[in-house]
């Protein structure tokens, strides 16, 4: 079993909180968020990316937000960057 990094644990909590918030605000089909969590959203895209970067914003040492940027290949001729 792989050891999780401190940054991954911080992002896990923030990502799951964001998903819960988005579900609470959803007007149509909020149940689509039921299967969404850190492992199915952020971790999956981060681990499969060609290039990646995550920044965790902290307030007094407490994580309050994050931004993730990844570069993925859709097919051999195109590369896509997402944030």
**What number is the average pLDDT over the span 25-30?**
89
pLDDT tens-digit series, residues 35-74 = 888 888 778 778 888 888 888 888 998 888 888 888 877 6
Domain locations along the chain: 6-82
Give the H or E element holding residue 70: strand 62-75
Pairwise CA distance, residues 13 & 80, whole Å: 27
Q: Report the pLDDT value the prediction gives residue 44, as an integer from 0 to 100.
A: 79
pTM of the predicted structure, to 2 decimals: 0.63
Closest CA to 22 of 46, 14, 67: 14
């Amino acid at each position: 079993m792989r050891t999780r990094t401190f940054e991954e644990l911080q992002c896990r909590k923030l990502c799951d909180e964001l998903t819960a918030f988005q579900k609470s605000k959803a007007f149509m089909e909020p149940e689509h968020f039921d299967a969404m969590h850190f492992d199915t959203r952020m971790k999956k895209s981060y681990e499969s990316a060609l290039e990646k970067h995550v920044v965790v914003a902290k307030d007094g040492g407490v994580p309050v937000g994050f931004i993730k940027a990844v570069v993925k290949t859709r097919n051999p001729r195109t590369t896509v960057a997402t944030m």
